[in-house]
């Protein structure tokens, strides 16, 4: 082979290569990062779909009546409001 | 896990030097070979759980190394194309004087001739000429038939011979 290597290269090479298992164990965040990323993506997608589905539909008459009943608005208040308007 | 680590260290101890020379013959520069060897052994460590005990560790290791080396050479060619340098200029770069080249002019020309071969031919030529592997071993490593390997080697040999006869 017409090549050479730096002095003591193969000793240092073996040390560096033998260190791979412990290095990989120390820095093996990849599965956790992937899990966190997929969770964030699912959350964002769900939020987006929810926002879009509620924003696109106008409230029906039933929704408005239900809202007024739940908010405790009386018929008198409604009549006043219509009259004022 | 400890068993795997022991086996991995055994592979490092037994084959890292031989594998370095194999990779070095393929890529030329010491820095590239060093980087590539790290990548190869990282792949080996990751693939270790799928290694079947009954297969030959040498063949398995060389198969991973071969795939990584070919992928590295492809990427180098793309990088060279993107930087508008020619492939033969890249071959000259790895063969031309560098601090870790020991050979005389004839060996430098041989190195240049090998560096100019297409990847598959370079691989077969290197495995035969430098690693002294049999066609059967190369066939097991590369998954190519012995007949196809013999043809590749013959073509590569003729190309190298022609280059050495007339380098220009």
CB contact under 8 A, B30 and A16: no
Query: How close A23 comes to chain B (CA, Å)?
Result: 10
> Given A2, A4, A21, which is nearest B107 (Cβ)?
A2
Complex ipTM > 0.90: no
- B19 vs B26: CA distance, rounded Å: 11
Residue B117 CB coordination number (10 Å): 21
> Given B42, B45, B101, which is nearest A3 (Cβ)?
B101
Residues whose CB falls within 8 Å of the CB of residue B120, separated by 6 or more in sequence, listed in order: B70, B144, B152
Q: What is the DSSP string of B82-139?
A: HTT--HHHHHHHHHS--TTB---HHHHHHHHHHHTS-HHHHHHHHHHHTS---HHHHH
- B142 vs B123: CA distance, rounded Å: 9
- B143 vs B120: CA distance, rounded Å: 12
Range of the domain at A35: 9-84
**A18: which chain B residues are within 8 Å (Cβ-Cβ)?**
8-9, 12
- Give the total number of structural domains in chain A: 1
Burial class for A54, CB neighbours closer than 10 Å (0-12, 13-18, 19+): exposed
Q: Are B69 and B33 in contact (CB under 8 A)?
A: no
B79 or B96, which is more confident?
B79
* Position A2 in a domain: no
Each residue of B43-52: pLDDT tens digit? 999 999 888 7
How does residue B157 score in pLDDT terms, banded at 50, 70 and 90? very high
CA-to-CA dists, residue B129 to B83, B112, B122, angstroms: 32, 15, 10
Which one of B34, B44, B46, B94 would you mutate to disrupt binding with A, by most A Cβ within 10 Å of its Cβ?
A: B34
**What are residue B52's phi and psi, to 5 degrees?**
-90, 130
- The mean pLDDT value for B133-145 works out to 92
* Position A50 in a domain: yes
> Which DSSP category does A57 fall into?
S
What are the extents of the domains in chain B?
2-165
CB contact under 8 A, A5 and B100: yes
* Position A3 in a domain: no
* Position A61 in a domain: yes
Q: What 3-state class would DSSP assign to A60?
A: coil
Each residue of B101-123: pLDDT tens digit? 555 777 788 888 888 888 889 99
**B42: which chain A residues are within 8 Å (Cβ-Cβ)?**
20, 24
* Position A71 in a domain: yes
Q: What 3-state class would DSSP assign to B31?
A: helix
Q: What 3-state class would DSSP assign to B51?
A: coil
Q: What pLDDT tens digit does each residue of chain A (85 aa) get?
A: 667 888 889 989 999 999 998 887 766 667 778 888 898 999 999 888 887 777 667 778 888 888 888 888 888 887 787 776 5
Burial class for A75, CB neighbours closer than 10 Å (0-12, 13-18, 19+): exposed
User: How far from chain centre, in Å, is Cα A66?
Assistant: 33
Question: What proportion of chain B, given as a percentage, has pLDDT over 70?
Answer: 83
Q: Give me the total of CB pairs closer than 8 Å, taking one residue from chain A and one from chain B.
A: 59
B109 or B82, which is more confident?
B109
Nearest CA in chain A to B129: A1
* Position A49 in a domain: yes
A77 or B138, which is more confident?
B138
The answer to whether domain B2-165 has CATH 1.10.1740.10 is yes
- A53 vs A68: CA distance, rounded Å: 22
CB contact under 8 A, A3 and B100: yes
**What are residue B115's phi and psi, to 5 degrees?**
-65, -25
* Position A80 in a domain: yes
* Position A1 in a domain: no
Q: What 3-state class would DSSP assign to A3?
A: strand
CB contact under 8 A, A14 and B12: yes
> Given A5, A13, A20, which is nearest B45 (Cβ)?
A20
- Enumerate the β-bridge partners of residue B101: A3
């Amino acid at each position: 082979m017409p090549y050479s290597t730096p002095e003591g290269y193969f000793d240092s090479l073996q040390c560096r290569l033998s260190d791979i298992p412990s290095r990989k164990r120390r820095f093996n965040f990849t599965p956790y990062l992937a899990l966190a990323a997929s969770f964030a993506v699912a959350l964002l997608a769900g939020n987006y779909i929810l926002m879009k589905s509620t924003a696109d539909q106008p409230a029906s008459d039933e929704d408005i009546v239900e809202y007024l009943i739940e908010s405790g608005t009386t018929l008198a208040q409604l009549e006043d409001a219509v009259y004022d308007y | 896990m400890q068993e795997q680590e022991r086996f991995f260290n055994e592979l490092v101890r037994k084959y890292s030097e031989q594998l370095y020379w194999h990779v070095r013959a393929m890529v030329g520069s010491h820095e590239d070979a060093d980087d590539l060897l790290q990548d190869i052994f990282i792949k080996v460590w990751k693939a270790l759980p799928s290694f079947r005990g009954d297969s030959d560790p040498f063949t398995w290791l060389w198969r991973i190394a071969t795939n990584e080396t070919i992928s590295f050479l492809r990427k180098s060619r793309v990088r060279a194309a993107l930087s508008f340098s020619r492939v033969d200029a890249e071959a000259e770069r790895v063969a031309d004087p560098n601090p870790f080249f020991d050979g005389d002019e004839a060996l430098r020309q041989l190195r240049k001739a090998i560096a100019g071969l297409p990847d598959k031919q370079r691989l077969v030529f290197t495995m035969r000429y430098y690693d002294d592997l049999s066609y059967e071993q190369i066939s097991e490593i590369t998954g190519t038939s012995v007949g196809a390997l013999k043809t590749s080697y013959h073509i590569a040999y003729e190309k190298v011979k022609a280059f050495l006869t007339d380098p220009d």
